[in-house]
């Protein structure tokens, strides 16, 4: 009798509402909530069986249950390598995972060597194959879980450049040989290490640099290129706690378990099916536009919404006080290590190609500065960092390239740069870094009424 009562109590007390209390953000994914509800129903059913069913019936049901669970586990484990290319469309999603000892940070799996076909994050949102800008990508990581080729890094001398950023910095959607970290090394001879990680905001980037800095060989001429993306970096989670405590044993175990669970093909397929059923829920989407020659060009609705904010809006942003603390801590870390920090503002595709979405004459509505760039320039100046706004010069590069060849700096189906974009960004920053120090201060551009 006691086992039956215990099972019913567990089924009633452990539910999606109580489970949310133990999650890091107070939220649960839809698929996880349904799994917990299924577990609750099962436990109550088992409890009732224990109270009222015969021993033979209970034994038979338990044998069937164990066989079913084992079958599901075996199918899930076999499907992981077999369905990888079908379930994921880009390697960044396959190999990224949380750090068990510091869950605020992520790295890629170590020593990855991946080659495959991929397409853009925006066309993936639409699920329309005709909008995909297909390309082949190589994706490699080093023994520390970052997107670097060990052969490109000279460990006998200090680094010239450390790239600190998000998916733009990591080169999401672009093959290894074309990402700007490689271009810095091969075209400009800079000994470069890329610490960028998709999904990172300035707070995560600071923590990552602090964690990795002790193993990197730096010198008095090492520059940290802090690549700030204007589309969402001011909106990414940012906290006043700049030294999170390492996770304990149980938290590390929970992170590893969650990583294993989130890579489950059964979970992924279930989540996508449920997302289709919840299609009426408002969410940011891809906006399909066309270029003058008829090719599709996609924009992200969230970044467009952010571009329309004013400077006053951003000065009232709730993350701004924490961002000031992050920039001040970066200044302290750089000073202690003898590093030079250069903040680079990376614009959205709309800031460069807004005319395509607005369906007007090319290069007739661009503005040279965005409110986000002005905010991050202000934070940079407060802390003595050099600042480069890539937007004005990327506009020039984009116009020249489009006029000559109709090529773009962004993938047409992606929020990220293509190979031309990485080359242009590396050119702007590389030439800036190699200029005499008394000539490298950025030019003041008219904000175009953005505030």
* pLDDT per position as a tens digit, 52-83: 777 787 788 778 878 988 998 999 999 998 88
Looking at residue 55, what is its pLDDT? 75
Query: Is pLDDT above 80 for 437?
Result: no
Ranges assigned E (strand) in 20-177: 96-99, 102-108, 113-118, 135-140, 161-164
Looking at residue 436, what is its pLDDT? 64
Looking at residue 31, what is its pLDDT? 62
Pull the structure tokens for residue 408.
Answer: 């773009």
Please name the residues in contact with 216: beta carbons below 8 A apart, sequence gap of 6 or more. Answer: 159, 162, 193
Reported as a single tens digit per residue, the pLDDT across 160-203 is: 999 999 999 999 999 999 999 999 999 999 999 999 999 999 99
Q: How is residue 130 annotated by DSSP?
A: G
Query: Is pLDDT above 60 for 440?
Result: no
Average pLDDT, integer, range 378-395: 96
Give dist(CA 21, CA 214) in Å, integer: 36
Containing 355, the helix (H) or strand (E) segment is: helix 349-358
Side-chain half-sphere exposure of 289, counting CA atoms within 13 A: 20
Average pLDDT, integer, range 238-263: 93
Average pLDDT, integer, range 104-123: 96
Average pLDDT, integer, range 99-117: 96
Give dist(CA 328, CA 251) in Å, integer: 30
Question: Other C-beta atoms within 10 Å of 23: how many?
Answer: 13
- In three-state secondary structure terms, 137 is strand
Q: How confident is the model at residue 449 (pLDDT cuts 50, 70, 90)?
A: very low
Looking at residue 1, what is its pLDDT? 66
Side-chain half-sphere exposure of 237, counting CA atoms within 13 A: 10
Looking at residue 315, what is its pLDDT? 97
Query: Is pLDDT above 70 for 29?
Result: no
Query: Is pLDDT above 90 for 13?
Result: no
Looking at the whole model, is its pTM more than 0.75? yes
Higher model confidence: residue 448 or residue 395? 395
Ranges assigned E (strand) in 102-243: 102-108, 113-118, 135-140, 161-164, 192-194, 223-229
- In three-state secondary structure terms, 338 is coil
Looking at residue 447, what is its pLDDT? 36
Looking at residue 127, what is its pLDDT? 82
The answer to whether residues 143 and 111 touch, using CB atoms and an 8 Å cutoff, is yes
Looking at residue 71, what is its pLDDT? 92
Q: How confident is the model at residue 154 (pLDDT cuts 50, 70, 90)?
A: very high
Looking at residue 441, what is its pLDDT? 42
């Amino acid at each position: 009798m006691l086992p039956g009562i215990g099972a019913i109590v567990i089924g009633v007390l452990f539910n999606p509402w109580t489970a949310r209390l133990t999650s890091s953000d107070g939220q649960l994914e839809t698929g996880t909530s349904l799994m917990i509800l299924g577990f609750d129903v099962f436990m109550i059913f088992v409890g009732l069986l224990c109270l009222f069913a015969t021993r033979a019936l209970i034994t038979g049901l338990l044998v069937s249950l164990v066989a079913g669970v084992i079958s599901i586990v075996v199918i899930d484990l076999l499907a992981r390598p077999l369905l990888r290319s079908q379930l994921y469309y880009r390697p960044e999603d396959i190999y990224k995972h949380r750090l068990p000892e510091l869950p605020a940070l992520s790295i890629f799996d170590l020593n990855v060597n991946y080659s495959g076909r991929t397409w853009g994050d925006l066309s993936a949102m639409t699920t329309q194959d005709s909008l995909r800008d297909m390309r082949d990508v190589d994706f490699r990581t080093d023994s520390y879980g970052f997107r670097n080729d060990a052969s490109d890094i000279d460990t006998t001398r200090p680094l010239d450049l450390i790239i600190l950023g998000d998916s733009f910095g990591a080169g999401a959607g672009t093959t290894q040989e074309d990402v700007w970290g490689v271009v810095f090394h091969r075209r400009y001879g800079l000994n470069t290490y890329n610490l960028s990680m998709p999904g990172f905001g300035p707070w995560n980037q600071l923590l990552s640099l602090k964690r990795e800095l002790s193993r990197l060989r730096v010198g008095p001429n090492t520059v940290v290129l802090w690549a700030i993306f204007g589309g969402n970096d001011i909106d990414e989670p940012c906290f006043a706690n700049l030294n999170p405590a390492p996770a304990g044993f149980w938290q590390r175990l929970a992170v590893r378990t969650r990583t294993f669970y989130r890579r489950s093909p059964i979970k992924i397929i279930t989540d996508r099916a449920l997302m289709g059923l919840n299609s009426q829920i408002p969410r940011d989407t891809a906006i399909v536009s066309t270029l003058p020659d008829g090719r599709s060009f996609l924009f992200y609705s969230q970044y467009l919404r952010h571009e329309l904010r004013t400077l006053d809006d951003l000065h009232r942003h709730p993350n701004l006080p924490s961002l000031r603390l992050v920039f001040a801590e970066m200044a302290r870390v750089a000073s202690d290590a003898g590093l030079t920090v250069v903040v680079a503002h990376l614009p959205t595709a709309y800031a460069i190609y807004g005319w395509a979405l607005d369906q007007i004459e090319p290069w007739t509505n661009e503005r040279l500065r965005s409110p986000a760039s002005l905010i991050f320039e202000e934070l940079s100046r407060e802390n003595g960092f050099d600042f480069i706004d890539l937007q004005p010069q990327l506009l020039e590069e984009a116009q020249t390239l489009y006029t000559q060849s109709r090529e773009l700096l962004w993938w047409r189906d992606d929020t990220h740069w293509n190979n031309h974009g990485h080359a242009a960004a590396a050119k702007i920053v590389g030439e800036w870094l190699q200029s005499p120090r008394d000539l490298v201060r950025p030019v003041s551009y008219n904000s175009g009424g953005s505030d």
